[in-house]
Structure 1
């Protein structure tokens, strides 16, 4: 509405609808209605639509489409505001485009609201290979993105609400552990809504888990240090097992990464953190 000069608009999901009006001509202030539920009866959604259409019909004005320079100014202002919010808001998301494997996608303008998420146009996720699929958890794929391997987690935002909340929580954990990304945990590349249908979370692909690895004393020390770094930032992993610890080989050197923070907790309780460290110690003896 800001970019095309129109005065009235509707924003709707499957369950909720909002009616939007630009207050006066030549301004960008918007008035948004209360949330109208699809099951509401006082008034019904259809009655609201009829009333809104009549308002728009009786309150016509000449379309004042902004010039290209004005549009660029609006977008630059939005980007600047998004950059400022990026240092403050660690719980928001970006919009991304994602489809099935080996398809090249149209470019889309996307803005980050989180400090460490890539602030770029998403062009393609290619070569999707299924890792795991479960109705009670996110579907997980290995994929290619920008000439490197990544891991994609995704779920249906309408039919897998508990999984959506788990992915949102995991993204928040990645933000809290931002300085550990690429060292003790994978780097978070993308988090957001794809096509208005799926929640997606994309991290760097690290390698295999340690369940079939022979670990020496140095390896176990590195793993303990990685968990200690996570604990120092107030995060309890909550699901310590070999499948959630990955090994990355860099020549003769092996580095270890923790993954899957959907069940984690934010805590500074030293007793709980020590209990988890003790669990790790026991399981490293496998």
Structure 2
């Protein structure tokens, strides 16, 4: 059971808004996750490739006890994946493969992998990929979700093995 607490400026202790949600999240041991390469760095920290059981994906973690605002963001992101964005996973957003608590110290998400971001692609973004990004953002809005952090780093491309059109996904829903 995990309960997060923070101290307000007046010195009073309070439980985080996501405390009840956290209490029901599965706790995984460090030995259950195999860490791979660093995919990138963001406001919430480093994102790794990782394997949990047979699922390989992008692992995003935040400390349960250091920065409450980052914890709230990842909890919000999980709630977005489980709620309004559930139907468009794998289409406009990555699939949420796993989420939970790691070693009673970190909240995490494990999502399906993409190869690169619009930011790293530079001038190599195709017209079709741009159209898919716009369509994806419109789909988010149709689900009642405003992204909250529209940047090229938050648009990723997953190429399909059969050579057909790439998937273009929006990521990072902490501010949604």
The TM-score bracket by the shorter chain reads 0.7 to 0.9
Q: Pairwise mapping of residues 8-47 of structure 1 onto structure 2 (< 5 A)? A: none
Query: What SS does the corresponding residue of 1:235 show, helix, strand or coil?
Result: coil
Q: Pairwise mapping of residues 212-231 of structure 1 onto structure 2 (< 5 A)? A: 212-213=121-122, 214-231=124-141
Question: Does 1:177 pair with 2:85?
Answer: yes
- Structure 1 position 245, deviation (Å): 0.4
Q: State the TM-score, normalized to the length of structure 2.
A: 0.77
Cα distance in structure 2, aligned partners of 1:255 and 1:149 = 18
CA RMSD across the alignment: 2.8
- Structure 1 position 146, deviation (Å): 4.3
Residue by residue over 1:53-97, the C-alpha shift from the partner in whole angstroms, topping out at 9 and shown as x without a partner, is xxxxxxxxxxxxxxxxxxxxxxxxxxxxxxxxxxxxxx5642131
Question: Whose strand proportion is higher, 1 or 2?
Answer: 2
Query: What SS does the corresponding residue of 2:135 show, helix, strand or coil?
Result: helix
Give the direction of change, closer, same or farther, for the CA distance of 1:215–1:165 in structure 2 (3 Å limit).
same
Q: State the TM-score, normalized to the length of structure 1.
A: 0.49
Residue by residue over 1:255-277, the C-alpha shift from the partner in whole angstroms, topping out at 9 and shown as x without a partner, is 1000011111xxxxxxxxxxxxx
Structure 1 residue corresponding to 2:116, chosen from 208, 212, 215? 208
- Structure 1 position 14, deviation (Å): 8.6
Give the number of aligned pairs: 158
- Structure 1: runs of 5+ lacking an equivalent: 1-10, 16-38, 41-90, 100-104, 106-123, 265-286
- Structure 2: runs of 5+ lacking an equivalent: 6-11, 14-20
Give the direction of change, closer, same or farther, for the CA distance of 1:13–1:217 in structure 2 (3 Å limit).
closer
- Structure 1 position 155, deviation (Å): 1.7
Which is greater in Rg?
1
Structure 1 residue corresponding to 2:171, chosen from 234, 242, 259? 259
